[in-house]
């Protein structure tokens, strides 16, 4: 696809299609490297600069927004799990001391 793009460099639709394909394929970094090399080889290349800007915008839209409620639920679940483990360990420790030293048992 990059070869076709180079052969028809001034066709803007091909640039958009290439970037879209790379985004959908999960390889925007590949597209960014290609355009960066083109821009380095041809400083001032407007099409390469615009393509790099579009790639940056696409990369930012790939980032998932932070779901604060989900993070809070995960933390509260973790707190409950740790609390349960600590309570179980405390119960086992108490049972050990009662059995070992005879606490709370008549005798």
Segment 6-18 shows an average pLDDT of 94
pLDDT of residue 55: 94
Supply the pTM of this predicted model. 0.58
pLDDT of residue 106: 57
Separation of first and last alpha carbons in the chain: 87
CA–CA separation, 42 and 56 (whole Å): 20
pLDDT of residue 105: 55
CA–CA separation, 3 and 22 (whole Å): 14
> What pLDDT digit, counting tens, does each position of 65-75 carry?
656 666 666 77
């Amino acid at each position: 696809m990059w070869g076709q793009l180079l052969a028809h460099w001034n066709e803007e639709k091909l640039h958009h299609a290439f970037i879209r394909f790379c985004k959908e394929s999960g390889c925007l970094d590949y597209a960014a490297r290609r355009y960066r090399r083109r821009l380095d080889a041809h400083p001032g290349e407007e099409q390469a600069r615009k393509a790099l800007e579009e790639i940056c915008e696409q990369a930012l839209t790939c980032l998932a927004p932070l779901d604060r409620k989900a993070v809070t639920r995960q933390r509260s679940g973790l707190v409950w799990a740790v609390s349960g483990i600590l309570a179980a360990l405390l119960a086992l420790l108490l049972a050990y001391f009662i059995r070992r030293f005879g606490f709370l048992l008549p005798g």
